[in-house]
Amino acid sequence: MLRHSKREAGKPRVTSSNLAGKRLNNQIRISETSCNSGLLFYPAYMRILSGIQPSGALHLGNYFGMMRPAIELQEKGEAFYFIADYHSMTSLFDAAERRKNTLDVALDFLACGLDPKRAVFFKQSDVPEVCELAWLLSTLTPMGLLERAHSFKDKSAKGIPINHGLFAYPVLMAADILIYDSNVVPVGQDQKQHVEMTRDIAIKFNEQYGQTFVIPEPQIKGETAKVPGIDGEKMSKSYGNTIEIFGDEKALRKKVMALKMDSRTPAEPKPDAELNLAIQLLKVIDASVGREWEERLRAGGLGYGDLKKQLFEVYWEHFATARAKRAELVANLDYVNKVLADGSAKARAKATEVLKRARKAGGLE
C-alpha cells in the first residue's frame, strides 16, 4: 500500500487517481460508461470501502445502487465493507431493533455474495477509533459545508427532527472512509455529496497538517444510481416506498401488483414507455428483459397487469439463490458472528495505524 509521509513543498497530493497514474503497468482498465466516478484507472492494490446503515430491510435501491457494485469490486482490490451502526443512531432510537437490523444486514450482505475470504466485513462500532478521527476532522469542517448537505436538508424539509449527530453525519462518514486509506467508495447517487465532502475535509487536513490522508473517489453506477420506489420517488427506507429483497412472497407480490399505472387501455401504444415505473424497475433488475418489455409496451397490446406480473417473476427469480443462501446462514449464526469478529480485528488494526498518523500530524503525539 501507499506509504505516507508529510507532503514536501511542490510534491503532488496523493489521490487515488494520481496514485493510479504511478502504477501504470499493473492497473485495471474499466469501462468509462459503467462508472461516472471519473476514475478510469484503478490502482493495483486499491482499498474499496462502503457501508450501509442497519436502519431497515434491504431493498432494491440498496442492492443495485451499492451492494452489487461493492460485491463486484471485492475481486479488484482490498475491500472493506461495514455495517454503519453508529450512523443508524442518528435516526433509529430502538436498541433492540438496531441489534436485529445489524444481524439482518450481515445476513443480507453475505447472502448476496460478499465473500469474507476476499473482503473484510465488520461492524462500524467495533472500531471506535473512527469516533476519535471524526473529532479531529470536525475541527476543520466548516459549518457552511455541513449546512449544504442534502441528506440533512431533505430530512429537515420532511419535518424529521434534526439532532447534532445527523447534522455532523458527513464528518463521521469522512472518518469511516479516511481511516482505512480508501481509494474507491461504491455508493448510490445520494451519497455522492458525502464522498465529495470527505475529499474536501481530507484535503483541508492534508494542507493544514501535512500529507496524512488518501483522497478517495466515489464510484457510482450510472444506470442504478437512483432506483425509484413504488411511488416513483427515490427508493429509501426512510420514505416507506421500498421493495425489499428478502421478505414474504405474498406480501411482496401484492406490493408489486399494486404499482400505480395510468388509465390508458392495453391496446394503446405507449410512446413514453421508458417513463413507466414497472419498466424502470425491470430494467434495473435485468436490462435486456426490461428493454424487450419496454418495446412491447411502446408498441401497444400489452396490459399493465401482465407487465407487473413479469416484473414480479423476474425480481423473485433474481434473488432465488440469495434467498436460499440466507436461509442457510440463518441456521449458522455462529459463522456469521465469527466473520464479523474477524473482520473487526482486521479493520481495527488498519484504523489504529491511520489514526496514529493523524494524531501525530495534528500534534497530539
Question: Of these, 15, 16, 37, 55, which contacts ligand ADP (CB under 6 A)?
Answer: 55
Euclidean distance between CA atoms 158 and 177, whole angstroms: 28
DSSP 8-state assignment for residue 124: G
Check if the beta carbon of residue 54 is closer than 8 Å to that of residue 85.
Answer: yes
User: Which 86-125 residues touch ligand ADP, going by CB under 6 A?
Assistant: none
Closer to ligand TRP at the Cβ: 116 or 216?
216
User: Which 86-105 residues touch ligand TRP, going by CB under 6 A?
Assistant: 87
Closest distance of CB 133 from ligand TRP, Å: 12
- Give the residue among 364, 365, 363, 360 at the shortest CA–CA distance from 5: 360
Question: Of these, 39, 187, 195, 214, which contacts ligand ADP (CB under 6 A)?
Answer: 187
Residues paired with residue 132 on neighbouring β-strands, in sequence order:
none
- The 174-203 contact track toward ligand TRP, x by CB under 6 A, reads --xx-------x-x---x--x---------
Q: Phi and psi at residue 120, in whole multiples of 5°? A: -85, 120
Closer to ligand ADP at the Cβ: 43 or 51?
51
Choices 43-51, 92-100, 132-140, 337-345; region in contact with ligand TRP by CB under 6 A: 43-51
Q: Phi and psi at residue 59, in whole multiples of 5°? A: -130, 175
Size of the site for ligand ADP (CB under 6 A): 20
- Give the residue among 206, 202, 154, 148 at the shortest CA–CA distance from 174: 202
Euclidean distance between CA atoms 19 and 42, whole angstroms: 9
Three-state DSSP state, 122: strand
163 binds ligand ADP (CB under 6 A): no
Out of ligand ADP, ligand TRP, none, what residue 235 binds, judged by CB under 5 to 8 A for its kind, is: ligand ADP
- Give the residue among 348, 356, 343, 354 at the shortest CA–CA distance from 2: 354
Catalytic (active site) residue 22? no
Question: Of these, 57, 238, 280, 314, which contacts ligand ADP (CB under 6 A)?
Answer: 238
Which residues are tagged catalytic? 155, 234, 237
